[in-house]
Amino acid sequence: MNIELALFYFFSTILVFASVMVITVRNPVKAVLFLVLAFFTSAGVWILLEAEFLAITLVLVYVGAVMVLFLFVVMMLDNNLEPLREGYARYLPIGIIIGIVIVLEISMVVGPERFGLAQYADPAAHAADYSNTKELGRILYTQYVYPFELAAIILVVAIVAAIALTLRKKRHTHFIQVEDQVYVKRNDRVRMVKMAPEKKK
């Protein structure tokens, strides 16, 4: 067994373990941390496939920004974990059944008889001046330009829809009118009441 195959099995084992822990652990903070571990190991697998740009992007964008944001949000929210623990045992059998079905479907599609080394040889080693970023950009903007533009349109629609849902006018919401606050007078806000003094008995 060569070193690349050993590293592949090493990273794949950690990736499968971290992925299982993300969906089985009950603490959301630990789930996010296991997801960060899964992203790191995925970046290691991509480096073995000579996709250095995608691996660095995964670490910088997802681990360095998105997952840190998720972790801060989860830690700041006061999550009540008791309902999660109660529903875990109740939905565990159906979750196991769905998981087995998904594993069987994936094995039927990406099994060794279709994606083994007999069908696909090892990728050829590139020269020292090979640019992974240049090759990715060439394929992305030539062969996959229409799916790329379609994905961009879908993301823009999703952003607009999220802003529209967030900024919709709510009922029973009181807004402060600035012009009314500027021209307010003392007699409109303060009412002087005179009372006769009373003696204690």
- Residue type, position 121, single letter: A
Q: Which residues contact 74 (CB under 8 A, 6 or more apart)?
A: 28, 29, 32
CA-CA distance, 145 to 139, in Å (whole number)? 8
Q: Which class is domain 1-80?
A: mainly alpha
pLDDT in tens, 17-51: 999 998 888 788 888 889 889 999 999 998 888 88
pLDDT in tens, 76-104: 765 666 666 666 677 778 888 998 999 88
**Residue burial 178-187, b: 16+ Cβ < 10 Å; e: rest:** eeeeeeeeee
Segments making up each domain of the chain, as ranges: 1-80, 128-168
* Token pair in block for residue 9: 């099995």
DSSP 106-131: HHHHS-HHHHSTTTSPPPPPPPTT--
CA-CA distance, 32 to 76, in Å (whole number)? 14
**Predicted structure pTM score:** 0.60
Asked whether the predicted pLDDT for residue 118 surpasses 90, the reply is: no
pLDDT of residue 53: 85
The closest alpha carbon to 37, from 52, 49, 25, belongs to 25
pLDDT of residue 14: 94
